[in-house]
Amino acid sequence: MRTKKNTISKILLIGLIFILSALAVACTAEKAKFDVISDVKNAQFKDFGTQTIEKAASSSLTELEWSRSEEPVAFDGGSVYEATLRGYSEEYEVNISIGFTVTYEYTQMADDPQPCTVAAKWVEVGDEYSESDNDLSYVLDYIYGNLS
């Protein structure tokens, strides 16, 4: 009888350890943070050039600052974060900011944050804010060195 009781206890203990381990993994995966800044820095806007936005911005702006939302700002086909690039244009003597959204699409694997989509959403040149496609294109052309 004792052997049977010990066996049942061992099975229950193993089951409990398994369940607690699974819960710990699930909680860790749930709190996983995406590397929003790196994903924005590595984004390529191929309509403007082949460089990453980080490399293009580094060659046209000084005093670069990158920031991001800590939590998702929306859930539109995935977790949506906001990121901002700020820098100073010595050529125009003005501060330039670009706002991006980074969407991490839902996938079948919870720990797979890819693919993500990076989109430019707004610009601010000096004190002038705009969400116009023409203004976004102009600022990205400037950053990529396409303006003469």
Q: What is the pLDDT along the chain (148 residues), one digit of tens a residue?
A: 456 666 766 665 565 465 545 544 444 344 446 899 999 999 999 999 999 999 999 999 999 999 999 999 998 778 899 999 999 999 999 999 999 999 988 764 555 546 789 999 999 999 999 999 999 999 999 999 998 6
Determine the pLDDT at residue 34. Answer: 84
Sign of the four-CA dihedral 70, 74, 80, 83: negative
Q: Which residues contact 103 (CB under 8 A, 6 or more apart)?
A: 76, 77, 78, 79, 80, 81, 116, 117, 119
Determine the pLDDT at residue 31. Answer: 42
Determine the pLDDT at residue 16. Answer: 46
Dist. CA 66–CA 82, nearest whole Å? 11
- SS3 of residue 96 by DSSP: strand
Dist. CA 26–CA 93, nearest whole Å? 50
Determine the pLDDT at residue 140. Answer: 95
